[in-house]
A and B are shown apart, each in its own frame.
Chain A
Amino acid sequence: MEKILEVNNLHVSFDTFAGEVQAVRGVNFHLNKGETLAIVGESGSGKSVTSKAVMRLIPNPPGRIKEGEIKFGDRDLAQLSEKEMQKIRGSEISMIFQDPMTSLNPTMTIGKQIMEGLVKHQNMSKSEAKERAIELLKLVGIPNAEGRVNEFPHQFSGGMRQRVVIAIALACNPRVLIADEPTTALDVTIQAQILELLNDLQEKMGTSIIFITHDLGVVANIADRVAVMYAGKIVETGTVDEIFYNPQHPYTWGLLGSMPSLDSTDEELIAIPGSPPDLLDPPKGDAFAPRNPYAMKIDTEMEPPLFKISDTHYAATWLLHEKAPKVEPPAAIKKRMQGMAPSEPIIGAKDGGKNV
């Protein structure tokens, strides 16, 4: 599989009044061509920062990429100048943001906002760009695109605005689309529509997507592979089935366990106790240790490396160390691992219009 983007040992810090906040602390992942990689984690886990770092959109100051490389083809994005980066943004890598209500310029027609990228990257004339903008609006499912291209953002509903944002992002046929919680602010039915749209578009255009979310339901729906982030690090990564049906990291267990399933009975949800660590002063050892009911002494001393479970599946927990005691995952997780887990990962099975 062709790796289109590879992030190695990425560190991002923010200098605040209180000191250096290490938001991302050595993240490694890659994105294959045509796939959707979901990065899951709670707020403050560094997932958004990671994605912004890829786009080099971390405001500096206070933020800065401390070290690491972001390989995009043969280029290292971390090293590019701002000018070179501008050529990549919007044309080769695009981004969609969380809140469609605020991510559009309120005083510019949506047509112009779409056209900007086209004019910049594809040297289109205004009229060409406008035509293309209308096409894009149609593509993302906005009815009466010819008329609406001249309207302002406030004349659109939230879901429609998010479609516009997607149209902007897709304008130049980017190879990578980074979607930073694009459905979090939307209602379920609208969310479903947007997810369907993204799936469709990916099929049509073959774009690789990094999808950032904290909603495991959405992950299950859209992802091919999943990276679970905690406290600025990736703690488990694998295919979607591996993560959902054979999770290995206690944090992943916690995440999965804390969601009720529709058929669940009255049993208590698995809550992860406490709060994520303060990245101003990350704890020694495994950052998850204080919240981990299975924590071992080594967790408070040393950071766990990524243990390999399969070719695609890695997890950073000392529980996978040969000397670690075998632990029983919580009941709900066990149920997942036994009952529902298919023996083989079903990566290729994504095709075939599963959604309406």
Chain B
Amino acid sequence: MGRYIGGRIISMLITFLIIASLTFFLMKLLPGTPFNNQDKLTETQIVQLNDKYGLNDPVPVQYFNYMKNLLSGDLGVSFQQDGREVSTIIGERIGPSAYLGLQSLVVGTIIGLFLGIIAALKHNSFLDYGTMVIAVLGISIPNFVIAGLMQYWFGVKWQLLPVAYWDGFAYTIMPTVAIASIVVATIARFMRTEMLEVLGQDYITTAKAKGLSSTAVVIRHTIRNASIPIITIMGPLVVGLMTGTLVIEQIFVIPGLGEKFVNSILTNDFPIIMGTTLFFSILFIVVILLVDILYGIIDPRIRLAGGKS
């Protein structure tokens, strides 16, 4: 197991370095430099500013310097937020995104599992279609519309919840609902399929033949086995949610990473682009690894040492 994880980490590092390099060069393909928007700059000043940040060096030199700094753990400083460390910026932004993401994940997963189970147990019944329509509705309405409507009705009209800001649990409710709607839909549909699959398995018949009650069969034998594959979709989902959604963050004024990331791309804030990209990739790769390890722990059939048996 240790050896397996070691091997995985090495291949992760390689993937990571390739992502870092490709992103670096792609970024360099974006026209313009970070300093062409500073309206009143003279040509000389732009040259000077570019010099200051080493942007006039040939790209390979810049690449070399960047990678050198990267490997020593230095992500550089932001161009737009003058002089602030990229790592500090990511650090202060990740908190709200991660909190919101995880909360939405938990809420969404619970509801999604519940809906998926109901739909599968009542396969092809009205309840099945109804549940699926609810699940699908969650992803059917653009989430900025959902968010806007919620903000208006719950925040302004009925004044039940705070309109926006990031200031305690009450403030997380609406954004959580808006984000969780996607999770609910994804998980519910996936769970339904898996449940149907498991319900058709022989061991379910064995369990029934033991005389277990339907509830016991569903809880002890079906749900557990149906949930295991969910872990595989959890990986990307976790990363997607943790890294924030631009739209929700903007509408509910949440100082999260999603907004920062999109804006960094649109403002050519190279160090932030690189920093966030690398952060995302690491998070992604690590989460995938964790998911695999978790899978091995939860599903006794999979032994890590030999991969899938």
Do A's and B's CB atoms come within 8 Å in the complex?
yes
Q: Which of B56-64, B68-76, B80-88, B212-220 contacts A (4 or more CB under 8 A)?
A: B212-220
The residue from B201, B209, B301 contacting A154, defined by CB atoms under 8 A apart? B301
Q: B8 at the A/B interface (Cβ < 8 Å)? A: no
With the chains together, A194 CA to B216 CA distance in Å?
30
With the chains together, A87 CA to B212 CA distance in Å?
8
A120 contacts B211, CB within 8 Å?
Answer: yes
The residue from B202, B216, B299, B300 contacting A97, defined by CB atoms under 8 A apart? B202
> A80-109: which have CB < 8 Å to B?
82-83, 85-91, 94-95, 97-99, 102-108
B301 contacts A117, CB within 8 Å?
Answer: no
Q: B45 at the A/B interface (Cβ < 8 Å)? A: no
Q: In the complex, what residue of chain B is closest to A56 when comparing beta carbons?
A: B208
A102 contacts B203, CB within 8 Å?
Answer: yes
With A116-B220, A152-B300, A154-B309 given, is the CB distance from A105 to B211 under 8 Å? no
CB distance from B248 to the nearest CB of A (A): 36
> A236-295: which have CB < 8 Å to B?
none
Q: B210 at the A/B interface (Cβ < 8 Å)? A: yes
With the chains together, A192 CA to B208 CA distance in Å?
28
SS class of chain B's interface: helix, strand, loop or mixed?
A: helix
With A107-B299, A168-B206 given, is the CB distance from A90 to B211 under 8 Å? yes
B221 contacts A86, CB within 8 Å?
Answer: no
**Interface 1/0 per residue, A152-170 and B, CB below 8 Å:** 1010000000000100110
Contacts of A120 in B (CB 8 A): 210-213, 216
| Interface residue tally for chain A (C-beta within 8 Å) | 33
B212 contacts A97, CB within 8 Å?
Answer: no
Q: B36 at the A/B interface (Cβ < 8 Å)? A: no
Give the total number of A-B pairs whose CB atoms are below 8 A apart. 84
A99 contacts B202, CB within 8 Å?
Answer: yes
A86 contacts B213, CB within 8 Å?
Answer: yes
SS class of chain A's interface: helix, strand, loop or mixed?
A: mixed
**Interface 1/0 per residue, B278-304 and A, CB below 8 Å:** 000000000000000000001111000
Q: In the complex, what residue of chain B is closest to A165 when comparing beta carbons?
A: B206
The residue from A94, A102, A116 contacting B212, defined by CB atoms under 8 A apart? A116
**Interface 1/0 per residue, A212-246 and B, CB below 8 Å:** 00000000000000000000000000000000000
Q: Given A86-B213, A90-B212, list of 17 further CB < 8 A pairs?
A: A57-B205, A86-B211, A86-B212, A90-B210, A91-B211, A95-B209, A97-B205, A103-B203, A105-B221, A106-B203, A106-B225, A107-B299, A107-B300, A116-B207, A117-B212, A168-B210, A169-B209
Measuring CB to CB, which residues of chain B are less than 8 angstroms from any residue of chain A? 201-203, 205-214, 216, 220-221, 224-225, 228, 298-301, 309
**27 A-B contact pairs sorted by A residue (CB < 8 Å):** A55-B209, A89-B208, A89-B209, A90-B209, A90-B210, A90-B211, A90-B212, A94-B209, A95-B206, A95-B209, A97-B205, A99-B202, A102-B201, A103-B202, A103-B205, A105-B225, A106-B203, A107-B224, A107-B299, A107-B300, A116-B210, A116-B212, A117-B212, A120-B211, A120-B212, A120-B216, A152-B301
Measuring CB to CB, which residues of chain A are less than 8 angstroms from any residue of chain B? 55, 57, 82-83, 85-91, 94-95, 97-99, 102-108, 113, 116-117, 120-121, 152, 154, 165, 168-169
